[in-house]
Amino acid sequence: MVRVVIYGEKPTDIEGLEKMLREILTENRRWPMIHTYISDLDAYLHFVKGNPYLIMLASVQGRQGAEIVEKIRENNPAASLIWLSDRDNALESWRIHVTAFGVFPTKKEELEELLAACSESCWLGRKSILFKWETD
């Protein structure tokens, strides 16, 4: 079983993510348990606090997105963290120590690679970072 906890500021921030996650994890025989929080950061932080055995996924853009992801990372430094945002936040993701960074909106194949980076970092016992986005 894989526990994924999604956060977005508005419904459009997470559009299609839960469905893609379920498909990817089920296809790989990793049974998903997915929780989604929209614009309730306090509840999200409370849910993920101190639990290293899950994947946190934040789909938030802009400077405010960086501030939110920083709070998420400070709240749970041990868990894997995927951040979907705009390209401008790619370097910021390195500073915040996210496990994997991708550009929103993302495609299923890209999300699969981001999840793989989380699995790899868990098994290796270290935090690595993967940057993924399509070039124009």
Residue-level pLDDT at 79: 94
Q: Is 57 exposed, middle or buried (0-12, 13-18, 19+ CB in 10 A)?
A: buried
Reported for 114-117, long-range contacts at CB under 8 A and 24+ positions apart, including other chains, are: 114/82, 115/21, 115/24, 115/25, 115/55, 115/82, 117/82
CATH number listed for the domain at residues 2-132:
3.40.50.2300
pTM given for the model: 0.88
Q: Is the pLDDT of residue 25 over 60?
A: yes
Q: Do you know the residue count of the chain?
A: 136
- d(CA 6, CA 79) in angstroms, rounded, equals 13
Q: Is the pLDDT of residue 132 over 70?
A: no
